[in-house]
Amino acid sequence: MPHINFNNDFPGIRSAMAYSPETAAPMGVLAEILLRSNDGLTPADRELIGMYVSYLNDCFYCNHSHGEIACIYLGGDRELVEQVRKDYSKAPISDKLKSLLAIAAKVQKGGKFVTVEDVAKAKENGADDKDIHDTVLIAAAFCMFNRYVDGLATITPTDMDSYPLRAKQIVDNGYGNHVFTNKQPT
């Protein structure tokens, strides 16, 4: 049961956002820019970073929600998503994305864990300043989203078939307050 009365029964972050639409609005804008921009990093890369940080933060709702969104962008390749989650170093992804995931994992522990060497490695593998900026901010933002979701004990759906439905809604319509003002997908 959630720690506070949200006055709604939406899953995960949606319940907290519906409870507090004023704070939800800038968070939705932030997610839209960070996760759906398609320069340098693709939306699939961005979602994989968000998913991976959520996995490290043990946030089931965000981990599986963003894993399913990444899966759609990857043409349904759920196996790749699972490989990134379990051991990205062996996954068939670019060296650039691997070195950015390494930076994201450092950010998850704390900002100061990111070293000059981590950044130099990512640059060697083709990342530019904006890719590094976005990686750090995506990882940092999921350290917020995950804590918001679990810190208030929002409802985590156990029906795994519901995750792809919400993921499709995000892929089709993007992030924003529509996720709680519109009907939940069934």
Partner 1 sequence: MAHIKVEENIPGIRSLVLFRPETGKSLYDLAQVLLRGPSSLPEAERELIAAYVSYRNDCMFCMKSHAAAARCLYGAEEKLVDEVLNDMQQSNVSNKMKALLHIAGKVQILGKEVRLEDIIAARSLGADDKEIHDTVLIAASFSMFNRYVDGLASFTPTDATVYEEMGKRMVNGYLPPSSEQS
By CB under 8 A, which span of 66-74, 76-84, 92-100, 140-148 interacts with partner 1? Answer: 140-148
Q: Which amino acid is at 167?
A: A
- In 3D, which of 109, 115, 107 has the Cα closest to residue 136? 107
Question: Can residue 144 be called a binding residue for partner 1 (CB under 8 A)?
Answer: yes
For 176, what's the count of Cα atoms within 13 Å in the CB-facing half-sphere?
11
DSSP string, 54-75: HHHTT-HHHHHHHHHHHHHHTT
Residues 41 and 142: their CA atoms lie apart, in Å, by 17
141 binds partner 1 (CB under 8 A): yes
* Calpha distance 34→137 (Å, rounded): 8
Q: Which of residues 37-76 bind partner 1 (CB under 8 A)?
A: 57-59
CA Rg, the chain, in Å?
Answer: 16
Q: Which of these segments, 24-32, 42-50, 86-94, 177-185, binds partner 1 (CB under 8 A)?
A: 24-32
Question: Which positions from 1 to 20 touch partner 1 by CB under 8 A, shown as an x/- string?
Answer: --xxx----------x--xx
Q: Which residues ranging from 83 to 122 are in contact with partner 1 (CB under 8 A)?
A: 103, 106-107, 110-112, 114, 116, 119
Retrieve residue 129's tokens.
């300043």
Where along the sequence are the contacts to partner 1 (CB under 8 A)?
A: 3-5, 16, 19-20, 22-23, 25-27, 29-30, 33-34, 57-59, 103, 106-107, 110-112, 114, 116, 119, 129-130, 132-134, 136-137, 139-141, 143-153
